[in-house]
Amino acid sequence: MFFLFQFLCRIWCRLQGWTYGLSVPPDVKKGIIIVAPHTSNWDFIYVMGGYHKINFRLRVFAKKTLFWWPLSIVMNRIGAIAVDRVKKENWVDTTAQLFGKENFFLALAPEGTRSYAEYWRTGFYHIALAAKVPVLMATIDYKVKSAVIGPAYDLTGDMEKDFEVFRDYFKNSNPKVTVNFNPEFSPRPRSKTTSK
């Protein structure tokens, strides 16, 4: 079923004239791929159209509720990691430990929504620091009809400085729904807790 779905996406995207640059440098064995802008469900279709060009093991987070048959076949085939949002779990440490055991690339959409987002979620950032892996920036550009993964970037640990790099990379992106993308995104502020 997965191969049929991927094949249909591939044919559709080819007919639409899409091109792909979805490989990573051979010396980069693991990392986090942040995908932006993410403004439409069509993003998934157009990425799947180039899935056959991926030269690495890809994993994604997905809601546990998506793992029902037959969709579970697709979820497992694309390396989805089931996330139970009801349970409180430290996904930064859990995922960093997983990177210590396996070579793979984790793809995330830090906007966290297809709607306009003032802030980006920073889980990807903390995972990359904890796992000591680079961040690769990937764009889905509807103007030029392409999906491309950029070079690997080693975080400095200075979040504001690193987000300047992210903003500079994505500022000229052309999303499906332009009004849903905020090119001036900032890291989501951490919630303040009261110390006793």
Q: What pLDDT score does 196 carry?
A: 40
Helix (H) or strand (E) holding 22: none
- In DSSP notation, 121-184 reads --HHHHHHHHHT--EEEEEEETTTTEEEEEEEE---S-HHHHHHHHHHHHTT---SSGGG--TT
Which residues are 147's β-sheet partners? Answer: 20, 140
pLDDT tens digits along 155-178: 999 999 999 999 999 999 999 999
When mean pLDDT is compared across 23-27, 56-60, 86-90, 102-106, the lowest value belongs to 86-90
Q: What is the spatial distance between Cα 101 and Cα 116, in angstroms, rounded to a whole number?
A: 36
pLDDT of 128 > 60? The answer is yes
Q: pTM for the complete prediction?
A: 0.86
Check whether 89 has a pLDDT greater than 80.
no
The pLDDT tens digits of the residues spanning 9-44 come to 999 999 999 999 999 988 999 999 999 999 999 998
Average model confidence (pLDDT) across the chain: 89
Question: 81: left (phi > 0), else alpha (psi -120 to 50), else beta?
Answer: beta
